[in-house]
Amino acid sequence: MTKRSGFLAAFRVVEFRALWGAEALSQLGDQLARVALAVLVYARTNSAALAALTLALSILPSFIGSTLFAGLADRYPRREVMVVCDVIAAALVIVMSIEGMPLGIVCLAMAGVSFVGGPFKSARLALLPEVLSGEAYVAGLAARGITIQIAQLLGFTAGGLVVALINPYVALAIDAGTFLLSALLVRIYVPYRPAPASPSARKLFWASTARGAKIIASIPGLRSLYVLTMLAGLYVGPEGLAPAWSAELGETAKVVGLLMAAPAAGLIVGSWAFTKFAGPELRPRLVGPLAALTGFCLMLCVFQPGLWVALALLVLSGLCSSYQVQVGATFATSAPAESRAQVMGLLNSGVLTAQGLGVVLAGVVAEQIGVANTVALAGGIGLVIALPAAAAWNRATAARETATG
């Protein structure tokens, strides 16, 4: 299968279409909910730190879910894990969508949704290599990433309009419906597969987590690749600071969705181009340079750009962050099948934890030095970290190519 037919080959598989559609629905609803909560909290408190904390609650608890409970998808049928997590998430969002619900309860429910999202995403990522292979698998990962970003783009934009024209509870109600539709798609169109790990191979959660970490550490290059992935924690700042950045620019709340959506728009184009035009030999070598360029684009915000220049820089940074497509493919194909969900869970939990901590710290720093300077600082730190990590990853890639002839 050639790389040019990869996207078509992936979408010809009914099971992949079901997984793709389910993820698109849940992602769209999630972005609507995030905009609603961020604007709601900022409107009530006028605090960039608290608005960023709200976004962190939609990300950070997934660390526990992905780290300790990703192994559920190695112990039990992955389809069933996905369906149960979707139903639990729908119930929690229904609680959030009740108008007048205290903000504290809403935030706790959001944390619960993030928590169950950990094993759900691990199960889905572990299942995908069983559905697709070769270039179709890489294209499927790219299509998944593009779809997530389109969902973010539409969700952030529509979320801003919904909040401005109606109220945040409508967005939360829509989110609950997307989880239920996602569960239905997976249950109907994804065939049953038994758990990949035999009962005798099942370990305690801590032991399973330790095994996943050992697998990552034992495979040459994965540690440096893991570091490049964690840079997402520095590069997520504009999303968490969007309400405050809009105010800093003298714009209205309607601009919040644009600032949140700009990186997603860039990643859509970047992921498509990265998969379409970069062959399997070139993709690994582009990971390091693109990771560094992502930080460089954000660092230019030190010049205090206006709205349209800021949006252009965010789009460019999103385009460069398309290197994450290769990261996911490398981790999934390197891990053994019986531990794949745990390995992908550690990858996912690391990214989400980095993002959650990143938006909280960015919110605190932004109140001291301003939003644009904070974004520039995060980009500069990311660039400094990316350069040595990229060099280490390139050395490992070259050594592997030499070893395989």
Is the pLDDT at 151 greater than 60, yes or no? yes
Question: For a pLDDT cut of 90, what percent of the chain falls above it?
Answer: 28
Mean of all residue pLDDT scores within the chain:
82
pLDDT for the residue 1? 37
Calculate mean pLDDT across residues 221-244.
88
Residue 196 lies in a domain: no
Tell me the per-residue pLDDT of 190-207, one tens digit each, with 9 for 90 and over. 999 888 755 544 555 556
d(CA 323, CA 330): 11
d(CA 294, CA 308): 18
Unique residue bearing structure tokens 């190519």: 401
d(CA 315, CA 83): 34
Helix (H) or strand (E) holding 176: helix 168-189
pLDDT confidence band for 288 (50 / 70 / 90):
very high
Calculate mean pLDDT across residues 385-389.
95
Say which range, 2-6, 37-41, 72-76, 270-274, has the weakest mean pLDDT. 2-6
Is the pLDDT at 296 greater than 90, yes or no? yes
Which residue range is the domain that position 288 belongs to?
3-189+204-400
d(CA 341, CA 126): 5
Q: Give the number of other CB atoms < 10 A from CB of residue 42.
A: 22
Is the pLDDT at 80 greater than 90, yes or no? yes
d(CA 168, CA 153): 17
Calculate mean pLDDT across residues 244-262.
84
pLDDT for the residue 378? 95
**CA-derived radius of gyration, the chain:** 20
Residue 195 lies in a domain: no
Q: Give the number of other CB atoms < 10 A from CB of residue 68.
A: 19
Tell me the per-residue pLDDT of 34-57, one tens digit each, with 9 for 90 and over. 777 776 677 667 776 676 676 667
Hey, what are 64's tokens?
């526990």
pLDDT confidence band for 102 (50 / 70 / 90):
confident
Say which range, 16-25, 46-55, 316-325, 355-364, has the weakest mean pLDDT. 46-55
In degrees, rounded to 5, the angle at the alpha carbon of residue 260 between the alpha carbons of residues 255 and 262 is: 95
The crossing angle, in degrees rounded to 10, of helices 103-131 and 78-96 is 160
d(CA 390, CA 81): 35
Is the pLDDT at 324 greater than 80, yes or no? yes
pLDDT for the residue 96? 81
Residues near 201 by beta carbon (within 8 Å), at least 6 away in sequence: 338
CATH number, domain with residue 345: 1.20.1250.20
Residue 199 lies in a domain: no
* Backbone phi and psi for residue 77, each to the nearest 5 degrees, phi listed first: -55, 130
Question: For a pLDDT cut of 70, what percent of the chain falls above it?
Answer: 86
Say which range, 14-23, 30-39, 72-81, 153-162, has the weakest mean pLDDT. 153-162
Residue 405 lies in a domain: no
Is the pLDDT at 272 greater than 80, yes or no? yes
Residue bearing the bigger pLDDT, 196 or 110: 110
Helix (H) or strand (E) holding 343: helix 340-369
Domain total of the chain: 1
pLDDT for the residue 163? 62
pLDDT for the residue 63? 67
pLDDT for the residue 61? 72
d(CA 356, CA 257): 19
d(CA 153, CA 268): 9
Hey, what are 246's tokens?
């809009």
Residue bearing the bigger pLDDT, 156 or 108: 108
Unique residue bearing structure tokens 């714009």: 251
pTM above 0.85, yes or no: no
Say if CB 352 and CB 66 are below 8 A apart.
Answer: yes
Residue 21 lies in a domain: yes
Burial code of 181-190, b = ≥16 C-beta within 10 A, e = fewer? Answer: bbbebbbebb
